[in-house]
């Protein structure tokens, strides 16, 4: 089931929450709506679901305009951040719920319901919890059951709003990988809302970066990360250092201080922490800096440097091997050499 959004506009009072959004989501894709708080992700998801009505524009499912169709007629399944399971029902009963409340004519036979629920519980690897109550499960397990419950009615579209938002970092990371594997098995067209760029980069086939109700960029994780179309996308997808860049014949010279010449020659250059080489000796195009803080994060090392000329903070990320080879210690003098940078023309300073 593909999804097309055409010129979707949604206001709350005078506030424009979704601003003329056009979006195509291919059949079987796992799409992340990524953006800061208040950027309109949830509003857009709710419009796709039919929980919210757009002021103007259309929602198409597989070439059919379903804008006027009620949520119950759209064939969507939901998982929310706090999608409370029914406390008084067992896990089995929770997952079976959507099937047991179907009108008699459409309701599968009891044996078929049982087969299906157990199959779903196996899919989310929690078949052993069938007779438990939600209070006897961990938060991560509850979200997996919520997903099994959403899938039980065979939705054509699965919508997830920060499904792992309330869980701790480790469980979150596990569930992300698990969701990716699950999606590879069932291929249901899915849209999930997140403000966590790592989550979007790791899980999604397609990322839609939103800002102030608009789409800034849409593309594969590689496309949006490697070729951001503007500074907003670049900065939202991970840490970045800003330098003054002077474009001159044969290349770009980066510096922490503005060029003394005319303003037009100076522009901003963006460099990610892993794109900076640390040198122990001066080099013509390097920036003198001092080690300020060293933080070892598993296999990589995050370093804060302070530029010698204007005390600007520069963040660098090194593989641990490289860090050890350099033998860096606090207050040591080094030279930083950006290996690549991005310049968005018109971003003059
Ligand atoms: N029912 C409503 N009434 C008034 N304003 C609303 C309503 N729903 C959303 N908004 C406003 O619309 C904007 C977009 O909200 P939305 O929930 O879509 O953003 P979001 O990107 O999902 O944010 P978050 O990550 O914080 O959930 C926000 O400024 C919000 O305050």
The angle subtended at Cα 316 by Cα 312 and Cα 319, nearest 5°, is: 165
Cα–Cα dist 212/34, whole Å: 12
Per-residue pLDDT tens over the stretch 325-336: 999 999 999 999
* pLDDT value for 261: 61
Q: Could you confirm whether domain 3-236 is CATH 3.40.50.300?
A: yes
DSSP state of 39: S
Which of 15, 17, 161, when mutated, tests ligand 1's pocket best, judged by the most ligand atoms within 8 Å of its CB? Answer: 17
Distance 38 CA to ligand 1 centre (A): 5
Assess: ipTM above 0.90: yes
Cα–Cα dist 225/141, whole Å: 31
Per-residue pLDDT tens over the stretch 16-51: 999 999 999 999 999 999 999 999 999 999 999 999
Residue nearest (by alpha carbon) to ligand 1 atom 1: 12
Residue nearest (by alpha carbon) to ligand 1 atom 29: 38
> Which part of the chain is CATH 3.40.50.300?
3-236
Q: How many residues does the chain have?
A: 349
pLDDT at residue 250 greater than cutoff 80: no
The backbone region for 50, taken as left when phi is positive above 0, alpha when psi lies in -120 to 50, beta otherwise, is: left
Q: Where are the alpha helices (DSSP H) in 84-220?
A: 91-100, 110-123, 139-152, 169-186, 197-203
State how beta strands 76-80 and 300-307 pair.
unpaired
Q: Where are the alpha helices (DSSP H) in the chain?
A: 41-49, 91-100, 110-123, 139-152, 169-186, 197-203, 221-226, 231-236, 320-326
Q: Kindly indicate the confidence band of residue 214, based on its pLDDT and cuts at 50, 70 and 90.
A: very high
Topology of the domain covering 241-344 = OB fold (Dihydrolipoamide Acetyltransferase, E2P) (2.40.50)
> Which part of the chain is CATH 2.40.50.100?
241-344
Residue nearest (by alpha carbon) to ligand 1 atom 18: 40
Which of 18, 38, 211, when mutated, tests ligand 1's pocket best, judged by the most ligand atoms within 8 Å of its CB? Answer: 38
Mean pLDDT taken over the chain: 90
Mean pLDDT of all residues in 265-282:
90
Ligand 1 atom showing the smallest separation from residue 195 Cα: 25
Distance 18 CA to ligand 1 centre (A): 9
Q: How much of the chain, in percent, has pLDDT values that exceed 70?
A: 97
Q: Is the dihedral angle over the CA atoms 175, 180, 184, 188 positive or is it negative?
A: positive
pLDDT at residue 237 greater than cutoff 80: yes
What is the DSSP code string of 311-340? --EEEEEEEHHHHHHHT--TT-EEEEEES-
* pLDDT value for 247: 76
Give the residues surrounding ligand 1 with Cβ less than 6 Å away: 12, 15, 17, 35, 37-43, 193, 195
Cα–Cα dist 210/8, whole Å: 14
Ligand 1 atom showing the smallest separation from residue 42 Cα: 22
pLDDT at residue 200 greater than cutoff 50: yes
* pLDDT value for 259: 67
Report the range of poorest mean pLDDT among 63-67, 176-180, 214-218: 176-180
């Amino acid at each position: 089931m593909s999804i097309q959004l055409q010129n979707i506009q949604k206001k709350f009072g005078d506030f424009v929450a979704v601003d003329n959004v056009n979006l195509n989501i291919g059949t079987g894709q796992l799409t992340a709506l990524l953006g800061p708080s208040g950027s309109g992700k949830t509003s857009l998801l709710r419009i796709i679901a039919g929980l919210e009505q757009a002021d103007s524009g259309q929602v198409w499912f597989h070439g059919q305009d379903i804008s006027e169709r009620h949520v119950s007629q759209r064939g969507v399944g939901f998982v929310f951040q706090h999608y409370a399971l029914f406390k008084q029902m067992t896990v089995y009963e929770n997952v079976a719920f959507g099937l047991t409340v179907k009108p008699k004519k459409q309701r599968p036979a009891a044996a078929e319901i049982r087969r299906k629920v157990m199959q779903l519980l196996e899919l989310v690897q929690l078949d052993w919890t069938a007779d438990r109550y939600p209070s006897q499960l961990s938060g991560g397990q509850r979200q997996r059951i919520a997903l099994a419950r959403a899938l039980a009615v065979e939705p054509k579209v699965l919508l997830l709003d920060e499904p792992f938002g309330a869980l701790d970092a480790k469980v979150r990371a596990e569930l992300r990988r698990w969701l990716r594997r699950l999606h590879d098995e069932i291929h249901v067209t899915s849209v999930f809302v997140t403000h966590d760029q790592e989550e979007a980069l790791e899980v999604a086939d397609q990322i839609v970066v939103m800002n102030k109700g608009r789409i800034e960029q849409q593309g594969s994780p590689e496309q949006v990360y490697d070729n951001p179309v503007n500074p907003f996308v670049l900065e939202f997808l991970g840490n970045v250092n800003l330098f003054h860049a002077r474009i001159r014949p044969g290349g770009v010279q980066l510096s922490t201080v503005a060029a003394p010449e005319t303003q037009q020659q100076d522009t901003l250059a963006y460099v990610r922490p892993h794109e900076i080489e640390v040198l122990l000796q001066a080099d013509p195009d390097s920036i003198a800096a001092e080690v300020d803080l060293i933080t070892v994060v598993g296999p990589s090392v995050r370093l804060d440097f302070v530029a010698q000329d204007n005390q600007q903070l520069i963040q660098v990320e090194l593989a641990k091997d490289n860090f050890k080879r350099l033998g860096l210690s606090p207050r040591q003098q080094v030279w930083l050499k950006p290996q690549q940078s991005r310049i968005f023309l018109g971003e003059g300073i």
